[in-house]
Amino acid sequence: DGGITQSPKYLFRKEGQNVTLSCEQNLNHDAMYWYRQDPGQGLRLIYYSQIVNDFQKGDIAEGYSVSREKKESFPLTVTSAQKNPTAFYLCASSISSGYSTEAFFGQGTRLTVV
């Protein structure tokens, strides 16, 4: 089945620790995105990538890092510089076209700082 897979579903991080969230897609999409969702805040864009080996900061990139070495994969690292990382993280992908930017989402990773 085609789709976008995030892992793990739940993740616990200790203070000062870096953690990496995985996002893989087999939809052959060029564009991939990471969003953060806090209660009552909607979705905020962290990073996005339109092609392999290229990515841009979104609205809240501080304390996060990404890589795009393969078309299928767009991992997100939450670094110790992110002071309030507890949130629900959503990865998405879309065909980069001028006509449609319908996004397909993974099921999310819930990160909690302990």
Position 110 contacts another protein (CB under 8 A): yes
29: its two tokens: 């999409």
Q: Which of residues 69-98 bind another protein (CB under 8 A)?
A: 88, 90, 92, 94, 96-98
- DSSP E strand boundaries for the chain: 4-7, 10-13, 19-25, 31-38, 42-51, 54-57, 64-66, 76-78, 87-94, 104-105, 109-113
Candidates 35, 55, 64, 74: give the one binding another protein (CB under 8 A). 35
Beta bridge partners of 4: 25
Position 33 contacts another protein (CB under 8 A): yes
Which residue number, 41 or 84, has a Cβ lying nearer to another protein?
A: 41
Q: Are 64 and 78 in contact (CB under 8 A)?
A: yes
User: Rule CB under 8 A: which residues touch another protein?
Assistant: 6, 31, 33, 35, 40-45, 48, 50, 58-59, 88, 90, 92, 94, 96-98, 100-108, 110
